[in-house]
Amino acid sequence: MLCAAGLAVGPAYAQDEAAYPRLDAEIGIEIQDDYVADSDDSDDSDAELNDLYTTTEPYFSFKATRQLSLEAGFVLEPVQDPDPGDDRVFEDHGLYAEELYVNYSGDGFDVYGGKFNPSFGTAWDIAPGIYGTDLAEDYEITERIGAGGALVFGEGGLGGEGFGTHRLAANTFFADTTFLSESVITDRGELDEADGGVSNTEDFSSFSVTLDGEGFSSAPIGYHLGVQHQEAGVGDSDDQTGFVAGLNGSFALGEDTAVEPLIEVAAFDGFDGGDEDRNYLTTGATVLHGPWNAAVSYTGRFTDAGGGNDTDDGQIQLSAGYAFANGLTADIGYKYVEEVEVDSHVIGVLLTYSLDFSVSG
């Protein structure tokens, strides 16, 4: 779980001596069933519903050479809210292009441009458990058009050995308002600049800068630091500025057991272009024992609204699972979440599987 943002230069696939051109593919498949077992939402008597859906993410890396590649990531998931009062079984799914960019990997650096997900935060991706990422996903930055670069130094990058590996990345971007913002199967509609929203400006006035590190000889830990600024869009009252800091690690407790803790804090001014500040705290841990895992996590979301209507939301989740020898994983989980003074209890099941292959010319 060390720094899932990735410190290796270039795409996640190994840069070996295979023939080029080459296509590397990874298709991550998740099937999840969430059942709201109990909710005290007085405004929605039909809140206790069941939702069965998939999140399938095909990712392709076409390498023209060892250094130059075209990266393409797609997502198949529900793109519309369910009808009020109705259970949902594999409905409202749309397929869209989340990333489509050119990447050049040199000796200790990357440069890239196109449609991509600018780096900022890690809890939305690697928080423990099947529900651990839920609230932190509020500040994930996705589907932006722009350019960026990264410098890797330390072991495995520039600067030699001795103090771990570190990756400094900088990105400038704006929200995708092209035809790539649409989806097929179920159409979610094309984003327009008139729709507003932070960084929906069609200019390079938004940015993020992040620093990740891992591989320290003194302790098996990783860190993540980041800053972002997203310019106000049409109808927004303020720019969004945010800061994030996190630690994670993997500690062996025996020959076949390890514990992987995480903590991340994020603070925002003018969140989502509005007149409010938000702070997030995500913490938790996963215990791994052979093919088994158990995870607990907590996320707090604290909103200081300009009009004085402050709210404190929170979520606690527990989950456990098993990884089969064929690559299939199965997890069960429970979460208690309080959002806008509404308490809900959710139980769920998650199945995951990944298909990987390469084709070279």
200 domain residue, yes or no: yes
Per the CB < 8 A criterion, the answer to whether 194 and 177 are in contact is: no
156 domain residue, yes or no: yes
Which residues constitute the domain of residue 298? 22-360
All residues at 6 or more sequence positions from 17 whose CB lies less than 8 Å from its CB, including other chains: none
**For the domain that residue 340 is a member of, what is the CATH number?**
2.40.160.10
Place of tokens 């779980």: 1
Alpha helices in the chain (DSSP H): 123-126
250 domain residue, yes or no: yes
- Report the C-alpha gap between 83 and 86 in whole angstroms: 6
Q: Count the domains in the chain.
A: 1
Closest CA to 167 of 7, 52, 289, 334: 7
187 domain residue, yes or no: yes
Is there a cis peptide before residue 21, judged by omega within 30 degrees of 0?
Answer: yes
Per the CB < 8 A criterion, the answer to whether 211 and 150 are in contact is: no
- Report the C-alpha gap between 245 and 346 in whole angstroms: 29
Please, is 225 exposed, middle or buried when counting C-beta atoms within 10 Å of its C-beta (0-12, 13-18, 19+)?
middle
Per the CB < 8 A criterion, the answer to whether 263 and 246 are in contact is: yes
Q: Can you tell me whether residue 143 is helix, strand or coil?
A: coil
Q: Which two tokens stand for residue 33?
A: 């069933």
- Report the C-alpha gap between 260 and 214 in whole angstroms: 14
Q: Which two tokens stand for residue 211?
A: 């620093």
| Tens-level pLDDT at each residue, the chain (361 residues) | 334 344 544 434 444 557 899 999 999 999 999 999 988 864 555 678 999 999 999 999 999 999 999 999 999 999 999 888 889 999 999 999 999 999 999 999 999 999 999 999 999 999 999 999 999 999 999 999 999 999 999 875 555 555 899 999 999 999 999 999 999 999 999 999 999 999 999 999 999 999 999 988 888 999 999 999 999 999 999 999 999 999 999 999 988 999 999 999 999 999 999 999 999 999 999 999 999 999 999 999 999 987 777 899 999 999 999 999 999 999 999 999 999 888 999 999 999 999 999 999 7
DSSP category for residue 219: -
- Report the C-alpha gap between 160 and 151 in whole angstroms: 13
7 domain residue, yes or no: no
Q: pLDDT value at position 62?
A: 97
- Report the C-alpha gap between 224 and 125 in whole angstroms: 13
3 domain residue, yes or no: no
- Report the C-alpha gap between 306 and 189 in whole angstroms: 31
204 domain residue, yes or no: yes
